[in-house]
Amino acid sequence: TAPLAYKMAVEEPLSLDSLSLAERDQQTKREQGVNDASPMRLRMEKFVKEQQKEIVWALEQVDGNSFRVDEWQRKEGGGGITCVLQDGNVFEKAGVGVSVVYGTLPKPAILKMRANHKKLGEDIENIPDSLEFFAAGLSLVVHPKNPMAPTVHLNYRYFETANPDGTSGAWWFGGGSDLTPAYLFDEDAIQFHKSLKEVCDAHDKDYYSRFKKWCDTYFYNKHRGESRGVGGIFFDDLDETVRDKENTFAFIQDALKSFVPTYVPIINKRKDMPYTEQEKEWQQIRRGKYVEFNLVHDRGTAFGLNTPGARVESILMSLPLTASWKYMYEPEPKSREARLVEVLKTPKEWV
Q: In whole angstroms, how close is the CB of 143 to its own copies at the nearest point?
A: 10
Residue among 16, 273, 305, 338 that touches its own copies (CB under 8 A): 305
How far does CA 107 lie from the centroid of its chain?
Answer: 25
319 binds its own copies (CB under 8 A): yes
Which one of the spans 151-159, 169-177, 291-299, 335-343 is the region binding its own copies (CB under 8 A)?
A: 291-299
Task: Tell me whether residue 86 or residue 168 sits nearer to its own copies (CB atom).
Answer: 86
Residues 257-295, buried b or exposed e (16+ Cβ, 10 A)?
bbbbebbeebbeebbeeebeeebeebbbbbbebbbbbbe
Q: Residue 159, class by beta-carbon neighbours within 10 Å (0-12 exposed, 13-18 middle, 19+ buried)?
A: buried
> How many residues of this chain interact with its own copies, rule: CB under 8 A?
32
Residue among 210, 260, 284, 339 that touches its own copies (CB under 8 A): 284
Q: In whole angstroms, how close is the CB of 89 to its own copies at the nearest point?
A: 17
Q: Could you tell me which of 276, 314, 271 has the C-alpha nearest to residue 64?
A: 271
Phi and psi, residue 71, nearest 5°: -100, 135
x-marked contacts with its own copies along 220-259 as a string, rule CB under 8 A: ---xx-----------------------------------
Task: Tell me whether residue 42 or residue 96 sits nearer to its own copies (CB atom).
Answer: 96
Catalytic: 143? Answer: no
CB 253 within 8 A of CB 245: no
Residue among 58, 127, 190, 291 that touches its own copies (CB under 8 A): 291
Q: For residue 67, give the DSSP letter.
A: P
| CA 288 – CA 304 distance, rounded (Å) | 21
Which one of the spans 201-209, 246-254, 287-295, 342-350 is the region binding its own copies (CB under 8 A)?
A: 287-295
Q: Which residues contact 106 (CB under 8 A, 6 or more apart)?
A: 129, 130
Q: In whole angstroms, how close is the CB of 98 to its own copies at the nearest point?
A: 16
| CA 298 – CA 290 distance, rounded (Å) | 10
Q: Is 228 left (phi over 0), alpha (psi -120 to 50) or beta?
A: alpha
x-marked contacts with its own copies along 173-212 as a string, rule CB under 8 A: ----------------------------------------
| CA 285 – CA 322 distance, rounded (Å) | 10
Q: In whole angstroms, how close is the CB of 234 to its own copies at the nearest point?
A: 21
Q: In whole angstroms, how close is the CB of 228 to its own copies at the nearest point?
A: 14
Which one of the spans 160-168, 191-199, 254-262, 323-331 is the region binding its own copies (CB under 8 A)?
A: 323-331
Residue among 264, 310, 341, 351 that touches its own copies (CB under 8 A): 310
Q: In whole angstroms, how close is the CB of 182 to its own copies at the nearest point?
A: 16
Task: Tell me whether residue 292 or residue 342 sits nearer to its own copies (CB atom).
Answer: 292
341 binds its own copies (CB under 8 A): no
68 binds its own copies (CB under 8 A): yes
CB 96 within 8 A of CB 59: yes
Catalytic, out of 117, 143, 153, 193: 153
144 binds its own copies (CB under 8 A): no
Q: What is the DSSP string of 1-61?
A: ---HHHHHHHSPPP-GGGS-HHHHHHHHHHHH---TTS-HHHHHHHHHHHHHHHHHHHHHH
Q: What size, in residues, is the chain?
A: 351
- How many Cβ atoms are within 10 Å of 297's Cβ, its own excluded? 16
| CA 351 – CA 342 distance, rounded (Å) | 18
Task: Tell me whether residue 93 or residue 228 sits nearer to its own copies (CB atom).
Answer: 93
Catalytic residues: 153
Query: Interface residues with its own copies (CB under 8 A)?
Result: 68, 70, 84, 86, 93, 95, 223-224, 284, 288, 291-292, 295-296, 302, 305-306, 310, 312-313, 316-317, 319-328
